[in-house]
């Protein structure tokens, strides 16, 4: 039975253990969406710390898809070239590398946000403009182009951000999608994006999709809404679901260690693809248990990796796997 420190093979990539860095916005780009020194050091240090898979923060497919001007972007060659340097740094420390590509939709705080429908994220936030069908198709192409640029940058995996109230999630949700055309179908935009991306990346390059299984807002959806959509997304090309919740409105989940494990297990038991999950999986024993009990295939660590880049090394020590440490650091045991 695989544990936290067993490798995982997905598509043509082998991840050295079951520990991933969850995407976390740094807001350190300088208006041009280009990653620089901060990002190279930040991601390399987590790779050096033993993390198996580094997923970048949300990286947007067009300028108006950013939350703010500090967000990373991936819509031009200069950005892709700079991401190549981040990928090289991460690979130098033995970790796999993925970019989370996204569009903020109505959660953008920049001028003139767009969304499936003219419904604001919360009271006091800007009312977005509803996208036309032509614009939606343009955004599908923007996701595909961004994925191509990610491949040029040397990624091992790509994650689409379909959770936390960003654009793909906005289409999936009855709170934010009040359309009456073909995109009224909550699955349609996500399926179009997955298909378009899959057609433009190598067939063995794994495509992950982050999903919110539960909305905590009044009128929001729960698992019974999303579960029937998941097989269609697998058919379209999703290779792994990254299971999270919330974000499509101000209401927040009650968070406690492993608070998404129930949803992850449901998705894993009902899907043909592996899953990752996230949410206070900070105890190495809990993370190892969740993998061994087949609740999840991959454990993503968020805030704990902001506090310590060496979370995976600490977990190796706690689980008696100190041989996982690089020689230089094994001397510290
Ligand atoms: C500072 C910060 C930035 C975040 N940015 C993103 C993001 O860009 N994309 C995303 O999917 N989740 C983002 N998240 C959510 C985390 O990836 C993770 O799902 C969440 O923090 C729960 O995991 P944890 O309890 O291990 O921190 C962010 C969280 C934090 C704390």
Confidence band, pLDDT 50/70/90 cuts, at residue 330: confident
Q: Give the nearest ligand 1 atom to 164 CA.
A: 11
Mean predicted confidence (pLDDT) in 51-64: 98
Q: Is the pLDDT of residue 273 over 70?
A: yes
Residue 332 lies in a domain: no
Q: What would the DSSP string read from start to end of 32-53?
A: S----HHHHHHHHHHHHTT-SE
Here the tokens at position 52 are: 């198996």
**Residue 293: exposed, middle, or buried by beta-carbon count in 10 A (0-12, 13-18, 19+)?**
exposed
Q: Which residues line ligand 1 (CB under 6 A)?
A: 22-25, 57-58, 100, 161, 163-164, 210, 244, 278-280, 301-304
pTM to 2 decimal places: 0.98
Instruction: From residue 71, give the alpha-carbon distance in Å to each of 89, 100, 108, 160, 198.
Output: 20, 12, 10, 16, 24
> Quick one: which of 17, 3, 20 has its CA closest to 325?
17
How many angstroms is it from 253 CA to the middle of ligand 1? 13
Which CATH number characterizes residue 16's domain? 3.20.20.70
Q: Which residue is closest in CA terms to ligand 1's atom 23?
A: 279
What confidence score (pLDDT) does residue 328 get? Answer: 81
Q: Is the pLDDT of residue 288 over 70?
A: yes
Q: Which residue is closest in CA terms to ligand 1's atom 1?
A: 24
What confidence score (pLDDT) does residue 331 get? Answer: 78
Q: Is the pLDDT of residue 327 over 80?
A: no
Here the tokens at position 203 are: 């067939």
**Residue 204: exposed, middle, or buried by beta-carbon count in 10 A (0-12, 13-18, 19+)?**
exposed
Contacts of 166 (CB under 8 A, 6+ apart): 58, 102, 103, 104, 105, 107, 247
Q: Ligand 1 pocket test: which of 298, 302, 305 has the largest number of ligand atoms within 8 Å of its C-beta?
A: 302
How many angstroms is it from 302 CA to the middle of ligand 1? 6
The domain of 101 spans: 8-320
Domain count, the chain: 1
Residue 99 lies in a domain: yes
Mean predicted confidence (pLDDT) in 138-162: 98
Residue 12 lies in a domain: yes
Mean predicted confidence (pLDDT) in 148-163: 98
Q: Is the pLDDT of residue 234 over 80?
A: yes
**Residue 100: exposed, middle, or buried by beta-carbon count in 10 A (0-12, 13-18, 19+)?**
buried
Q: Give the nearest ligand 1 atom to 244 CA.
A: 19
Work out the percent of the chain whose per-residue pLDDT is above 70: 99
Q: Give the nearest ligand 1 atom to 242 CA.
A: 11
Residue 269 lies in a domain: yes
Report the relative pairing of strands 240-244 and 207-212 from DSSP bridges: parallel
What confidence score (pLDDT) does residue 242 get? Answer: 99
What confidence score (pLDDT) does residue 190 get? Answer: 99
pLDDT tens profile 126-135? 999 999 999 9
Residue 49 lies in a domain: yes
Rounded CA-CA distance 29/33 in Å is: 5
Q: Ligand 1 pocket test: which of 20, 21, 24, 257 has the largest number of ligand atoms within 8 Å of its C-beta?
A: 24
Residue 207 lies in a domain: yes
Rounded CA-CA distance 146/61 in Å is: 6
What confidence score (pLDDT) does residue 323 get? Answer: 67
**Residue 20: exposed, middle, or buried by beta-carbon count in 10 A (0-12, 13-18, 19+)?**
buried
Work out the percent of the chain whose per-residue pLDDT is above 90: 96
Q: Give the nearest ligand 1 atom to 100 CA.
A: 9
Residue 330 lies in a domain: no
Q: Which residue is closest in CA terms to ligand 1's atom 6?
A: 24
What 3-state class would DSSP assign to 27?
coil
pLDDT tens profile 12-40? 999 999 999 999 999 999 999 999 999 99
How many angstroms is it from 180 CA to the middle of ligand 1? 33
How many angstroms is it from 133 CA to the middle of ligand 1? 31
Q: Is the pLDDT of residue 325 over 90?
A: no
Count of residues for the chain? 333
What 3-state class would DSSP assign to 265?
helix
Q: Give the nearest ligand 1 atom to 210 CA.
A: 11
Residue 327 lies in a domain: no
- Angle (deg, nearest 10), helices 284-292 and 311-318: 80
What confidence score (pLDDT) does residue 1 get? Answer: 84
How many angstroms is it from 255 CA to the middle of ligand 1? 13
């Amino acid at each position: 039975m695989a544990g936290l420190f067993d490798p995982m093979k997905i598509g043509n990539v082998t991840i050295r253990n079951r520990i991933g860095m969850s995407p976390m916005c740094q807001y350190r780009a300088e208006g041009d969406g280009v990653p620089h020194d901060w990002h190279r050091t930040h991601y390399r240090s987590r790779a050096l710390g033993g993390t198996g898979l580094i997923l970048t923060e949300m990286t947007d497919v067009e300028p108006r898809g950013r939350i703010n001007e500090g967000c990373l972007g991936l819509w031009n060659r200069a950005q892709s070239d700079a991401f190549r340097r981040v990928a090289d740094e991460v690979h130098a420390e033995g970790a796999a590398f993925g970019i989370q590509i996204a569009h903020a939709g109505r959660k953008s705080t920049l001028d003139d946000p767009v969304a499936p429908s003219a419904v604001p994220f919360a009271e006091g936030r800007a009312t977005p403009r509803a996208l036309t069908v032509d614009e939606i198709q343009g955004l599908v192409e923007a996701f595909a182009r961004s994925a191509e640029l990610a491949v040029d940058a040397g990624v091992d995996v790509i994650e689409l951000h379909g959770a936390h109230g960003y654009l793909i999630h906005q289409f999936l949700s009855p709170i934010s999608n009040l359309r009456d055309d073909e995109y009224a179908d909550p699955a349609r935009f996500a399926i179009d994006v997955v298909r378009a991306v899959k057609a433009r990346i190598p067939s063995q390059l794994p495509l992950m999709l982050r999903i919110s299984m539960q909305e905590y807002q009044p009128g929001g959806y729960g698992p019974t809404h999303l579960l029937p959509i998941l097989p269609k997304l697998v058919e379209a090309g999703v290779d792994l679901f990254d299971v999270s919740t919330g974000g499509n409105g101000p209401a927040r989940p009650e968070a406690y260690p492993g608070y998404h494990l129930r949803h992850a297990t449901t998705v894993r038991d009902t899907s043909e693809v592996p899953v990752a999950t996230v949410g206070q999986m900070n105890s190495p024993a809990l993370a190892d248990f969740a993998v061994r009990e087949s609740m999840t295939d991959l454990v993503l660590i968020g805030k704990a990796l902001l506090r310590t880049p060496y979370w995976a090394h600490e977990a190796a020590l706690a689980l008696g796997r100190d041989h996982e440490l690089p020689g230089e650091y094994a001397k510290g045991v």
